[in-house]
Amino acid sequence: MEHSMNRIELRGRVGQDPRIVEVGGNSVANFTLATNEVIKDRNGNVREVTTWHNIVAWAGKGMPYFEEIRKGTCLYVLGKIRNQKYTNQEGVERSYTEVLASRMVLDPPKDRD
């Protein structure tokens, strides 16, 4: 049997203060993380592109205290990609992608010269 891997590493800035809820006695944080990439378009112009990631993190080993995570915090996230589906109020099935974090590290930004 061939083995597969579902692993993602991200380093970016938190988009909003995490929404923290209790589920079965455990804390779960939901927030967005912005990653930036510098690309050159067809005309040779250099521009920065931002990608937003939905992050889900359960409190525990390998996690900082969720109270330390705020909008603008620089954060390293290690986890896996998970696709979710739901049906909205109009009965239309929707889907979205999220990152299920297994480890997060508060990452102070590097000084830029």
With cut-offs at 50, 70 and 90, classify the pLDDT of residue 66. very high
Q: Could you tell me which of 105, 108, 27, 19 has the C-alpha nearest to residue 72?
A: 108
Q: Could you tell me which of 65, 68, 59, 64 has the C-alpha nearest to residue 17?
A: 68
Q: Could you tell me which of 111, 110, 8 has the C-alpha nearest to residue 56?
A: 8
Which residue segments constitute the domains of the chain, with CATH numbers given? 8-106 (2.40.50.140)
pTM, full prediction: 0.83
**Which pLDDT score, from 0 to 100, does residue 111 have?**
54
Residue 28 — φ and ψ, nearest 5°?
A: -125, 130
